[in-house]
Every structure is written in C-alpha cells, then in structure tokens.
Amino acid sequence: MKRTWRFYAAVWAGKLSGALLKLLGRTGTTLPGAVAQRLDPACIAHLGASLPEGVLLVTGTNGKTTTANLLANILRAAGKDFAFNQAGANLVTGITGALLQDTGWSGRLRVPLALLEVDEATVPKVCAQITPRLAIITNFFRDQLDRYGELDTTVRLVRNALPRATALVLNADDPLVAQFGIGRSDKRAADPSGVMHQGVIYYGVERIPESSAVSGETREARFCPLCGAPLEYTLFHYGQLGLFACPSCSFRRPLPHLQAQQVRMEEGKLYFRVGVNAYEVALQGYYNLYNALAAVAAAVQLDIDGEAIARGLREFVPQAGRMERFLLLEGEVTLALVKNPTGFNQVIHTVLNGGAAGIRLLIAINDLAADGRDVSWLWDVDFERLGAAAEAGEGRVDLVVCTGLRAEDMALRLKYAGVPEDRLRIEHSAEKALALVSAGRGGREAVYVLPTYTMLFPLRTLLEAAAAHTGRGLSAEGRASA
C-alpha cells in the first residue's frame, strides 16, 4: 500500500499530540490515535505493513485484557520486542495510538511485532486494514446488548471478519468459539514469515474442581451452530463451557491440542499442567485458567520455548481491577471488574470460596456508555448465592454496600435475591462507600470491591490513595501493576 502525505501528517500529528499530553503530565493513547485517524483513516494499514513478524490479535467477551497481558509477559520472557495496547484501549483510536507509541517520525514501527487486544465490534474494522498473523478468541457471552446487539450478531461479525490466512487459537470448550474452526485445517502450514504453524489450535480444560454433569447457570450456546439441535453436555465447567456434542450431526467439542489437567487453586495462585509441563500463575478464579491456557497455546503456536512460557506465567502480575489486591490499614481489599452475568457469576464463586470467615462487598454499578446503558443483565446474575451465604456461618456475607448511578437497582436486585435488608447499604459517594464497607471490620473478614467499567478507575484511585496513606502500599500484585 502506497503511503501518502495524509499518512505522514497523521503520524506527526498523532505523535505531537502524545508529546503534548506528556508535557501536561497526562498519559493516554486514545487522543493521539483519534487525531491520526482523523487525518488518515487507513493509518492502521500503513503501520501494520511495517511489522515483519505481523500482528497478534486477542478478542472475545471476557478475559481479553488478562489474556493479552499474560501473552505479553511470555513474549517479554522470550526477549521479544513488540507494540502493545497494554492500557486496554481496544477500539480503533486506542489501537492506533498504541502503534504510534512505537513508531518513528519516519512512519515505520521500531518493533517487529504487535500484540493487540481488540474489542469484538472493532475486529471487522481492524481486519479490514490488516491480516493478523494469529487471533486468540477467548469466549462469547452476552455483554452490553445496547451496543453489541444479540450475541449471534457479535459472533457472526467476528467470524466473518477474520481472514482465512489468520491462524486461530480457539477455546475448544465454548461452542460459540469452537465453531470458528469449522472448515479450517488444523494441519501445519507456513505463515507469512515462512515458519510452519497450525491453521487452528484448540485449547481446553479436562475438568476443574467445580465441574459438574449438570448446570443451573445461564448458557449462551444451547443449540448446534450447524443443524440447530440442542447441544448435549457430559460435563459443565461454567456457563456454556464444557464437554459438548450435538446428537444430530458431527459438531462436538474439538480435541484440544493443549489441555489443562490437575487444576487447583492455592493461596491466590492457579496451578495446572499441560502434558509434562507444570505452570503457576498469580490469578484467582478458575475462569482465569482459560486466560492462562489461551496465552500458553498462542505462545506454543509462536514457537516460544517452554521455559519462557513458564517464567512468563510465573512472573505475571494482574492488571488493574483483575483480582487486584490492596493492603490498607484495615486489611486487604480485592478489586475485581464485573461487566456481564457470566463474569459476575465467576467472581461471586471466587469470593464465596476464598476461605474468609466473613465477606463484605462494595458493588458499584454505572450505566454509562462504556458500561452498557441496559442494566437488566443484573437479573441474570446468580445473586441468590449471596442471599444464601448471608445466612451461612463460615464464609457468610456480612455486608453489601451499593454505590454508583444504579445503586438502588443493585440493592433491589439483592433484596429479591434474599440478602437481608439489614445487611444492605446504599451510598452514592464512592469515597464514603469505601469507608463504610471497611468500618468495624474484623480481622478475618474479606473485602471485595466489584465495579463496572466506569467505576473501576475512580475506585482504584481511592484504594491507591488509601494504601499510600497507611504507609503499607499496594500488595505485591498491585505494586507491579500500578
């Protein structure tokens, strides 16, 4: 593709706006990307053309940020240089801005490779300009229906956008993802750099401690994508993820190339094996097993050696709001982003199985554009588990503070879920809500802060300030990700 004056103007204007932000003491990639896109909408295509090792793309509903950062840590352990939208700005403007950070004034990237977390609805826009070398697809769940529309629409958009030349790393346990491999070969073929790779590589889980032959959870994929017959399961992991097969046609859970076995969680870490290789990663929640496994599968596809993969996982530090821990004067506080029913259910499961004598929750729900305007999804979350735990002994829910623009909606949902009214509080001030959830806290009580996206960083800022004020700072995870 021939570069024009518009491209060079876009690069210079974008980089100058980034430099201006730094002078003002601010950070960000969205504004420089927006400036560059305004001058040259094909900016990503021009920048991508100067990457000899291509683009690695990560998309899906849940786990994009964690998966991308896990893979980034593995790439660093392997000594790779790459561009990366680490801040999670995964729309066109943020992706453009991230690429510009590693672009010289000549318009050429200074690194050979790019790792891009891409919003599902943005995948068609990105793939219209570049052909990713590899695409990781984590899972598909209902999320922000007002923005994405029905889930089938999102799946179709992503599936139709991915070029045939792109190698796929697919979650074998999610029928909505596994179907992307239909009609694609899993035989080894040469990528653009001449290295032999498989066209499709599947990753999956043998079982987790909570796997069951029956499930009462909401499932997104009930029907076969080929013939429409109801899918049958021999094992559920969570949501629609598990061992599935169609009784009427050939569609079934593919045999994973990489399968996690001997999965366990101890002291805030996940442990698992893939074949003869043992891995550990400082993440809570079995749903994060899939994020780690996706990163491992991608690294194997990229021919990264096993020692670098293990070290990259072992030295990983969670990103902002992904079970991030803060050490305050009153004790430890864990911050976890929640944004859709399945993700919230998995966080609830992790909270209730954390081993604490008592649990206190601060749930912060907003309905701004980035959160999704429609909060009816709260009624699909299994808050009844909190209602049941409110009356339990060990691990009982002692207090739930609701804040955010939709605090009353959240409190009402919890009341109907069986959480006693005397355990519920509404406090619209985020600062006061944090103080309230920690007031009179016992020594063995665990505190979790669960915000939607636009409440995540305001609450994180308050937690950072509180941690700094006590002189104890962030936990090991928090320090490295701050």
Say what the pLDDT of residue 78 is.
96
Q: Which residue has the higher pLDDT, 43 or 3?
A: 43
Lowest-confidence pick of 37-41, 358-362, 475-479: 475-479
Say what the pLDDT of residue 353 is.
80
Q: How confident is the model at residue 143 (pLDDT cuts 50, 70, 90)?
A: low
Point out the residues that are catalytic: 374
Percent of the chain predicted with pLDDT > 70: 90
Q: Has residue 149 got a pLDDT over 70?
A: no
Q: Has residue 114 got a pLDDT over 90?
A: yes
Q: Has residue 142 got a pLDDT over 80?
A: no
Q: What is the mean pLDDT of residues 218-232?
A: 85
User: 160-188, pLDDT tens digit by residue?
Assistant: 999 999 999 999 999 999 999 998 866 65
Task: Name the average pLDDT for the chain.
Answer: 87
Q: Which residue has the higher pLDDT, 216 or 57?
A: 57
Q: What is the mean pLDDT of residues 55-72?
A: 94
Name the pairing type of β-strands 269-274 and 258-266: antiparallel
Is 402 flagged in the annotation as binding?
A: no
User: 259-305, pLDDT tens digit by residue?
Assistant: 999 999 887 789 999 999 999 999 888 889 999 999 999 999 999 99
Q: Which residue has the higher pLDDT, 299 or 214?
A: 299
C-alpha 65/C-alpha 43 separation (Å) is: 23
User: 423-482, pLDDT tens digit by residue?
Assistant: 999 999 999 999 999 887 866 788 999 999 899 989 999 998 888 876 544 444 443 333
Say what the pLDDT of residue 441 is.
80
Say what the pLDDT of residue 478 is.
42
Q: Has residue 150 got a pLDDT over 80?
A: no
Is 127 flagged in the annotation as binding?
A: no
Domains of the chain: 5-314 (3.40.1190.10), 322-481 (3.90.190.20)
Say what the pLDDT of residue 140 is.
92
Say what the pLDDT of residue 187 is.
61
Q: How confident is the model at residue 193 (pLDDT cuts 50, 70, 90)?
A: low
Say what the pLDDT of residue 479 is.
36
Lowest-confidence pick of 19-23, 203-207, 285-289, 389-393: 389-393
- 3-class secondary structure per residue, the chain: CCCCHHHHHHHHHHHHHHHHHHHCCCCCCHHHHHHHHHHCCCHHHHHHCCCCCCEEEEECCCCHHHHHHHHHHHHHHCCCCCEECCCCCCCHHHHHHHHHHCECCCCCECCCCEEEECCHHHHHHHHCCCCCCEEEECCCCCCCHHHHCCHHHHHHHHHHHCCCCCEEEEECCCHHHHHHHCCCCCCEEECCCCCEEECEEEEEECCCCCCECCCCCCCCCCECCCCCCECEEEEEEECCEEEEECCCCCCECCCCCEEEEEEEEECCEEEEEECCEEEEECCCCCHHHHHHHHHHHHHHHCCCCHHHHHHHHHCCCCCCCEEEEEEECCEEEEEECCCCHHHHHHHHHHHHCCCCCEEEEEEECCCCCCCCCCCHHHHHCCCHHHHHHCCCCCCEEEEEEEECCCHHHHHHHHHHCCCCHHHEEECCCHHHHHHHHHCCCCCCEEEEEEECHHHHHHHHHHHHHHHHHHCCCECHHHHHHC
